Amino acid sequence: MTEKEKLQAGELYNANDPELVQERVNAKKLCMEYNAATYNDYQKKERLLTRLIAFKGENTWIEANFFCDYGYNIFLGDNFYSNHNLVILDCAEVTFGTNTYIGPNCGFYTASHPIDAETRNQGLEYAKPITVGDNVWIGGNVTVLGGVTIGNNVVIGAGSVVTHDIPDNVVAVGNPCKVIRPVDEK
């Protein structure tokens, strides 16, 4: 089994494998080009995102700066907007539903490392997917860890660290992020 196959299977893998390193280099080059593009060169930015991201729906916009590991594990629904400094470590799939709005300085981290130092020091890591539902607003400076699912119609408060699943129709905040109340239309 190759290191990439191990990664995709959710098993421990060596991120320093030459194939994976080259794929990250390719993605980082596209991110660099995207971030350096003139702000209102919408066509160029659109072309770069199309080359970088696995799937993007209609009306997708990511403010520079944007960084990811591979790109091919990122799926963006319609009406996706992210403010500045979005980081997606997409060693596993990261899926965003429709009508997702993300504040500045947010990170979605599928990559993780073993707690055991001996294993970790061998350069081994693993990844777990992240899923974000429809109609989700994520405040600034939020971190979402691998293995988390955020439901539909959710608001995640600024500065939160999301370590566990968040159900539908709630407002959740904190470190660790916890549900504080249902979404209230008022």
Long-range contacts of 111-118 (CB under 8 A, 24+ apart): 111/15, 111/69, 111/146, 112/145, 112/146, 114/12
* Torsion of the alpha carbons at 68, 149, 140 and 73, rounded to the nearest 10: 10
- The answer to whether residues 135 and 152 touch, using CB atoms and an 8 Å cutoff, is yes
Cα distance from N-terminal residue to C-terminal residue, the chain: 53
Selecting among 6, 24, 113, 128, the annotated active-site residue is 113
Residues 6 or more apart in contact with residue 185 via CB below 8 angstroms: none
- The answer to whether residues 151 and 170 touch, using CB atoms and an 8 Å cutoff, is yes
The yes-or-no answer on residue 164 being catalytic is: no
Residues 6 or more apart in contact with residue 154 via CB below 8 angstroms: 133, 135, 136, 137, 166, 167, 168, 169, 170, 171, 172, 183
Residues identified as active-site: 113
